[in-house]
Amino acid sequence: MTETETSQQTPAQAVTGMVDHTLELAATWLNWDGTLAHVDDRVYTPHKAIRRVADHLVDHLAEMEARLAGEETQPDHWHASMVTTEADLAPFTQADLDEARSRLGRLARIWANRLDALTAEQLDHSPGEGWTFRELALHLKGSTYYADSVGDLS
């Protein structure tokens, strides 16, 4: 995507595009042979990439909804990408891909629906402390990092 196309993206398109990219790569992970991807100072696997994308979407969705409701945001207690769990090391099967498509697809739609319902004022001058909601969406777009760390295994 060119810089012009990126700048013309709506916040909803930034999030849904990130999920689409993740799921495109995930479709190639059925070929994963168990080799760990070492990127920066972390280890990534197909399951870990899906977990991190989902956790990131949930975390910031909870933040946005709390701020819209005038509530304090809850601190997260994710272990994030510092930890590789036993479940992260499991083979990535067609059933796992189907689950990821359902989970991430639904989260992307929730985000898109919420972001599309906000006014430009709400997107750019969001209540509470932290990034604006437009900035949150652009931040989430960076979650492609997790999928890109595993890469295209076709």
Contact (CB, 8 A) for 146 and 22: yes
Name the average pLDDT for the chain: 94
pLDDT at 14 over 60: yes
Report pLDDT for 52. Answer: 97
The model's pTM is: 0.93
Q: What is the mean pLDDT of residues 93-106?
A: 98
Query: Which range, of 2-6, 10-14, 40-44, averages the lowest pLDDT?
Result: 2-6
pLDDT at 1 over 90: no
pLDDT at 15 over 90: yes
Cα end-to-end distance, the chain, whole Å: 22
Spell out where 3-150 has E strands: 37-39, 42-44
pLDDT at 2 over 90: no
Angle of helix 11-26 relative to helix 46-68, nearest 10 degrees, comes to: 160
Residue 85's pLDDT band, with cuts at 50, 70 and 90, is: very high
Report pLDDT for 144. Answer: 98
Residue 7's pLDDT band, with cuts at 50, 70 and 90, is: low
